[in-house]
Structure 1
């Protein structure tokens, strides 16, 4: 079966979400839109429609709950994502993961580039792969170029856990899921992760599950 994620499909998908009257379902791995290159935003939506779509995405992300949500995760092949991390974590966890609060913001047509060669390895999950987590090596710092919801071009540097969120959500817009970049031997159900590997770092999981050291960037 061939899926044509063109302007007509985009229009239909957006209208379906805006007219539903309830929060959209987060699609799961295997849905073809998650593996497609999302369409750049070029003004296909009115300002009112874009603002409403962003509002729905924020509500959906928070209800899940999650720290980011890309438009393809609700079936819309558009280069749009919302990000926010205000969840409380222990001081030990925050230190090991360089995790600091991230205020809500929107990214449109984003592109990131690593800043430096340092990598960080941590477990991460995805709202579109419900119930699973795996270790992913990510750039410890990235520069993100994007447009905000008002069409203003911006560039920001992110480090630590914020950089991980930025990379994860931007990857969605190119059809990439975190499992594509993960150490697959680290894959764990949420229950097994909580039982055995829910540590601030991945040293115990690396030893116990037998996956390798960080791969070169």
Structure 2
């Protein structure tokens, strides 16, 4: 990483956001920042400012609430994301979706690649697309390479729901929303999800709404 500077335009933008205090405003679909490839982090934020920004991302993620948040979602086009999932779910959800607790992590300049050919499809939502969910088929297992907020290398394999979170947040840094990968016929409002599609897996929704699912791995 390069020499930090507090005078970059991105640093000024982050300072402006942090000055308001509290959770940061989340940018919603339609804002161009969500459709741009984020700039690799190379010291644009000095370490103290980076630490404050990371803390604000975590606060914002918790307040939303969500299990991941990427910098572009608060209007900052840097390749930084945070993830954390306490996974307070019933055992049947944990087993079917592979949703297990994930500690707080900061991902700097992350990139992933699939491990094997397995794919899994579940309803997925996004803090930048409030009020809607859709079924997305994603790699069941991925290898993530990144740095943490201290510049230390991250090289780890994620499976199940943690793999989904990693892919979702990394996609944000490439200007990709989950809707780009979704089965469009599955798109459902929060009300429809609550009334019709609360099952652990999306098979009933697929049959009723007329979309396909990947073959079991």
Q: Equivalences for 1:44-193 in 2 at 5 Å?
A: 44-193=44-193
Consecutive unaligned residues in structure 2, runs of 5 or more: 1-6
Q: What's the C-alpha RMSD, in Å, of the aligned pairs?
A: 1.3
Map Cα deviations across residues 28-81 of structure 1 (whole Å, 9 max, x no partner): 000110000000000011110000000000000000000000000000000000
Deviation at 1:22, TM superposition (A): 2.9
1:202 counterpart residue number:
202
Deviation at 1:9, TM superposition (A): 4.3
Deviation at 1:122, TM superposition (A): 0.3
Map Cα deviations across residues 97-147 of structure 1 (whole Å, 9 max, x no partner): 011111110000000000000000000000000000000000000000000
Of residues 92-101 and 172-181 in structure 1, the stretch that sits farther from structure 2 once superposed is: 92-101
Contact 2:14 2:76 survives alignment (8 Å)? yes
1:42 aligns with 2:55: no
Deviation at 1:23, TM superposition (A): 1.9
Matched pairs, number = 209
Deviation at 1:8, TM superposition (A): 5.1
